[in-house]
Structure 1
Amino acid sequence: MRFSSSVLDDIRNRLPISAVVARKVTWDKRKTQPARGDWWACCPFHQEKSPSFHCDDRRGIYHCFGCGASGDHFKFVTETEGLSFPEAVERLAETAGVSLPKPDPREREREAFRVDIVGAVEIAAKFFEAKLRAPEGKPARDYLTRRGLTPKTVAEFRLGYAPDDRDALKRHLLQNGVTEDTAVTAGLLRKPEDGRSTYDYFRGRVVIPIHDERCRVVAFGGRVLDPDGQPKYLNSPETPVFNKGTMLFNVHRAREAAHKSGTMIVTEGYMDAIAVHQAGIRNVVAALGTAFTEDHIARLWRFAPEPVICFDGDKAGVGAAHRAIDRILPLLKSGQSFNFCFLPDGQDPDDLIKASGADGFLAELAKARPLSEVLWDREVAVARIDTPERKAALEARIEELVRQIRDDRVARRYRLALRVKLSELFWAHDRKSRGGQGPRGGAKESPGANAADVQPLDDTELASVERILLGLCVEYPDLYEANIERLAVTEFKVKALEDFKRALYRIAVDLDAASVASFYEGLDGRFYFVLNEVHGDETRTDFGAVLPRGHRLRERMPILKFHPSQRFVENCFESMLERLSIRSLAADIEHDMDDVGADTDESAMARLFELSRELNRRREELARREQELAEEAKAIRQATTGSNSATPVLFK
């Protein structure tokens, strides 16, 4: 439904925005002035200790001076509760006592029909619940017990049992005033094409209700109890209120937890989602046995910028992930992507939780890999690069994939990241083929070109910051692109890191139009050693474990293991750049102080004094920002693992 400006203004005028926001924040009594409609609180969109979130009743807007979040009544509800815009309008209109315009007669008829269908489905849900509790539901209760579901979970999810009877539900529906045609349309009865009488759609199955985002039961999933029964799982057919290609199981419970934690977990089946929810991890949904659709992708992005999809680690799970990538790739946007978690030994989430508990499942989630890495692995796994033509073919294939991304900024960032990886891949392959000798026709490897060349040459802490910044440039090419000029003028004190930074600039700018195969051999061999040092190749340890790409970066910046938001990573990046800038300013002041003598004039001394004050101010501001980031890192880790340990350091 479309809403006129007058209706929206009426809601805004009757309902102060502070009353809407107050559901999610605690007002700061020192800064807030209620009489003036001036309200302050710690931001609900990012973790902070001092209030920078402002709410203005006079203008009907909110704004956070820390993270930049801003909007009106309706945006706040959609952002914090995961509702669609029409749902937010309906909820706030009810609170404000504003009557919404009635739809036209045809829409009223369609809505009344939908209400009849929802009513029929609700009657069926109560019937299935009662049958589960009845003596005839014992096989279903035994099955749920074997699956490890508690009575509390069974009640919360309203699980039920469909008797193995041709028309048990049909008789119940007719007795409760539901017409046969409505029951067929609602997907509760089947109507044979040969003219025979209708019969129950679900029979001899455990029944799982499927809710829409308005918390209404609109469909069911059924798990067969007969070991030989087929299909094993059965969903309701498409109806006017149920579309498998748009709906997500458990979304009505998960959306608020997803907003609080900043992520959404997606499982392949609803029994897995129930098991994860029961383990205390609330931000979980499941697809309904269909291929990932554009509607699924858009809906998940409403709740979290980078949802994590769990797949079984077997061949079928990997294949499903690759199909999902092909769907997602064209739709990628700045700040919106997906991570992929492949569970070990072909286990599903339910199996893993039974074996290792919630902590074991969360440990696997922490290993989730970005879409870009899974895409890279897929293409490289089947590629041969032993000839120039085959190198060119792989590069062309990757360029074609990048061209599918509709967002130009994201496409450029993918292109930069994949060019670095291709360069590294080609160099490593050719180096192995040559037994470690320098590239043919290109620069020779320096005899001492190894990880030892990038050990700190000055203070250890800032050398570590330089490493992390370069590792983040490789891991997050969008960060690098946004800060490329600022990085170019920031001098790194470790020479090998400074050289790497300059070579990375060449790849991103000077050589943007050239093919990877045409320029990679011209890079100094040190580039690849430093690349491994600051980021980390995929490596197998002496104990047989596999360390994924980026492991060195994650060792130095452990919070990355918990998939923080892009905004959080950007703030950390800015903080570390500021550290290096402060180092340069301090060095300049020290140099100028060394030159101070009896003939130094007062203006020069005043300038040094002002620079020293500026240095102290920036140091204090940096310390405050880093403390806020550390607190936010603690909240991210707690939301992901449930751990409430001490505030972590941001980097090592």
Structure 2
Amino acid sequence: MPDKGSDRVIGFGFMLFPPSFLDEIRARVPISQIVGARVRFDPKKSNTARGDYWACCPFHGEKTPSFHCDDRRGRYHCFGCGANGDIFRFLTELDGLSFSEAVEKLAALAGLALPKPDAFAAGQIDKRAGLYDVLEQAARFFERNLQQSSTAEAAAARTYLQQRQIGASAQKQFRLGLAPGGNNALKQFLEQAKIDTVLQQQSGLLAESEQDDNSYDRFRSRIMFPITDIKGRVIAFGGRALSPQARAKYLNSPETELFHKGRVLYNLAPARQAMRGLNGAPDQPLIVVEGYVDVVALAQAGFGSAVAPLGTALTEEQMTLLWRFCPLPVLCFDGDKAGQAAAWRALDRALPLLQTGVSLQFAVLPEGQDPDDIIRADGRARFAELLAGAAPLADILWQREITGQNFTTPESRALLEKRLYSAVSAIKDSGLRRYYMQDMKQRLWDYFRPALSRGHKRGQNLPGQSGRFAAAGAFNRSAGFGGGLVTRNLANSAFVRSARGKSFAAAFTSREAAILALLAAHPALWHENFDVLAQMEFQNAELRAFYKAQLEILGEGGLADNAGAMQARLEQKGQKAVLDKITGFMANLGVKNAQASASIEQARTALKQALALYRRAHSLHKQIREIEADLAMSATNRDFARLLALREELRRADDLEAAPDDI
């Protein structure tokens, strides 16, 4: 986004907005006003005088407030799921509005008139409005024809829906209809309504004849499923043929100004609302199934958060759309070879798009059954059970590479490792890719080592080498290290002991104690460094509890920069012993800046230095643990050299703690 004061404009859709106009909206509309309309702020943790608000996050289900809203910065941030942004992003992410729609809504609240679109943009807006209108009229025509027509074709359509157990309420909810066959009934209806033929063609409702210049109804003798955008407006149709002899069982609208098949999901607008449980109902995950009827069947069974791609495998754009509303959508595929192939295609497309905080889960259905079959045969509880057992993406990647394979030779095992690492290398997020690589290394270790140690003979199948496509969780996981892939000496060496679950520095460190002492003595420093402080990790249980107590006190408000009030409240929360221990610890080290008698400037400087040391040491410890884990799997001189260099760097960083007043 351009800097403030820039004359450049920002274009979204057909609207152009100068940055100064967006800044004016931000200045006039407090972010708490927008967020507060969707959540209930916690009165104990929020400090309205400072424009500081806390609430349960609207983006993910939680019982304790971790969602922070700051009027001074005009930003929100959830410390639970990581959601963050400004007022425009809040509306686009939570309500699914386009940026232009969010600006329009907020400008009205701010009492600002929108910039006037140029002539071209105005013409495009009028054209889109006309397309929405003709598609809405077509949807109503199809609905009436299904419900009110006395033709044999309409009766057959109603019978089919009854046989699929799609009741009247579901037909109404999803606006199901019937496109009559034969005499271009829709075209005649739209012409009587004075709808221009060109507009009918641009909406995808008419098709051109190959024999002459005439056009005809694209959809004939089909049960119609209206496809809507995120605002619930009809933008296209999917049609299910009534005749088994039809050339295509399902037919979708062609690409139009409004409809791009690879960027749309059927039923997304209602599903987005159903995800957030109402009237005490639990939240639901976003469920992805293969077809329209599956979506309708699940909605009737109480799973209103189901969506479907439009006759093709999930596209990259559709995955990104899913993640806008749910960090972990569940993909449900039929339990046959086609469903297996669909899951693996989704896996390959998802890997480059994965980011920290978003992924996919896979619910693999019994072979030969789709969601509609399961609901009709076994009811809602059975499908809920399958959802609860959904496997993470990493498990599906592993299962794909081992299913039906035989790993009795070193070459076959090396090929498995190569295939796994090649797949993981597609992940662009470097941090996430590193953890996936570690996970696959651990799976390889667990997979081969236990089998060998149990006395399997050469040539005998190893676990998991046969069997149908299954949800993960059935993999044999070993708890130990050593044997087979590395020497016994290396497995038991100091280099790899911490990789066996031993965390670093469980005792007090001067920098962590200094940080907490500084914050207890000068509470105002919390607000100056909150984003950094809120992400700290304390390995020591006492320090961790003391840290959480300070956070709770801040949320209760009214503290300002009052060390006495902070200490009194810490004592009320049972933290006096830890406070005395920290204070004594700092006094013994001669750290004067951590005392309440120190000036705020001295304390601020000391905290800045302590945080810098903490972040540096935390990063070094993390890198060391990762290399130690790698060494446990495969020893290389390069890894040893890197480990020694990191340990030396950490030693130098720890030496800085010897200068008390610099902490």
Distance 1:319 1:155, change over 3 A: same
C-alpha deviation, 1:243, in angstroms: 0.8
Say if 1:18 and 1:57, in contact at 8 Å, map to a contact too: yes
Partner amino acid, structure 2, of 1:165: G
Among candidates 261, 270, 293, match of residue 253 of structure 1: 270
Q: What is the aligned partner in structure 1 of residue 128 from structure 2?
A: 114
**SS of residue in 1 equivalent to 2:113:** coil
Among candidates 173, 182, 190, match of residue 156 of structure 1: 173
Residues 293-304 of structure 1 aligned to structure 2 (within 5 Å) = 293-304=315-326
Distance 1:85 1:387, change over 3 A: same
Residues 590-629 of structure 1 aligned to structure 2 (within 5 Å) = 610-611=577-578
Q: Distance in 1 between matches of 2:355 and 2:274?
A: 23
Distance 1:49 1:147, change over 3 A: closer
Q: What is the aligned partner in structure 2 of residue 209 from structure 1?
A: 226
Q: If the length of structure 1 is used for normalisation, what is the TM-score? A: 0.66
Q: Distance in 1 between matches of 2:117 and 2:437?
A: 48
Q: What is the aligned partner in structure 2 of residue 328 from structure 1?
A: 350
Among candidates 189, 200, 209, match of residue 192 of structure 1: 209
Question: What are structure 1's unaligned runs of at least 5 residues?
Answer: 437-470, 476-495, 505-515, 526-532, 535-570, 584-607, 616-652
**SS of residue in 2 equivalent to 1:116:** helix
Partner amino acid, structure 2, of 1:92: L
Q: Distance in 1 between matches of 2:111 and 2:576?
A: 61
Say if 2:39 and 2:56, in contact at 8 Å, map to a contact too: yes
C-alpha deviation, 1:350, in angstroms: 1.1
**SS of residue in 1 equivalent to 2:362:** strand
Q: Distance in 2 between matches of 1:578 and 1:45?
A: 31
Say if 2:354 and 2:427, in contact at 8 Å, map to a contact too: yes
**SS of residue in 2 equivalent to 1:277:** helix
Q: Distance in 2 between matches of 1:58 and 1:328?
A: 37
C-alpha deviation, 1:285, in angstroms: 0.9
Q: What is the aligned partner in structure 2 of residue 427 from structure 1?
A: 449
Among candidates 38, 42, 49, match of residue 24 of structure 1: 38
Q: Distance in 1 between matches of 2:330 and 2:428?
A: 22
Q: If the length of structure 2 is used for normalisation, what is the TM-score? A: 0.65
Q: What is the aligned partner in structure 2 of residue 379 from structure 1?
A: 401
Say if 1:325 and 1:371, in contact at 8 Å, map to a contact too: yes
Q: What is the aligned partner in structure 2 of residue 244 from structure 1?
A: 261
Partner amino acid, structure 1, of 2:339: G
C-alpha deviation, 1:50, in angstroms: 6.1
**Pairing 1:311–2:338 present:** no
Q: Distance in 2 between matches of 1:48 and 1:421?
A: 32
Among candidates 408, 424, 432, match of residue 410 of structure 1: 432
Q: What is the aligned partner in structure 1 of residue 292 from structure 2?
A: 270
The superposition leaves residues 169-197 of structure 1 with CA deviations (integer Å, 9 ceiling, x where unpaired) of 01001111112222122111110132152
Q: Distance in 2 between matches of 1:69 and 1:340?
A: 23
Partner amino acid, structure 1, of 2:184: D
Distance 1:348 1:90, change over 3 A: farther
Aligned residue pairs total 476
C-alpha deviation, 1:296, in angstroms: 0.8
C-alpha deviation, 1:52, in angstroms: 6.0
C-alpha deviation, 1:53, in angstroms: 4.9
The superposition leaves residues 201-221 of structure 1 with CA deviations (integer Å, 9 ceiling, x where unpaired) of 111111010001121101001
Q: Distance in 1 between matches of 2:45 and 2:485?
A: 61
Distance 1:338 1:523, change over 3 A: farther
Q: Distance in 1 between matches of 2:439 and 2:297?
A: 37
Distance 1:38 1:387, change over 3 A: closer
The superposition leaves residues 267-313 of structure 1 with CA deviations (integer Å, 9 ceiling, x where unpaired) of 11111111112222222111001122111111111111111110000
Among candidates 161, 180, 193, match of residue 197 of structure 2: 180
Q: What is the aligned partner in structure 2 of residue 519 from structure 1?
A: 486
Q: Distance in 2 between matches of 1:609 and 1:155?
A: 63
**SS of residue in 2 equivalent to 1:344:** coil
Say if 1:330 and 1:406, in contact at 8 Å, map to a contact too: yes
**SS of residue in 1 equivalent to 2:227:** strand
C-alpha deviation, 1:19, in angstroms: 2.5
C-alpha deviation, 1:582, in angstroms: 8.3
Q: What is the aligned partner in structure 2 of residue 233 from structure 1?
A: 250
Partner amino acid, structure 2, of 1:519: V
Distance 1:67 1:323, change over 3 A: closer
Partner amino acid, structure 1, of 2:230: E
Distance 1:27 1:339, change over 3 A: closer
Give the aligned CA root-mean-square deviation in angstroms: 3.6
Q: What is the aligned partner in structure 2 of residue 218 from structure 1?
A: 235
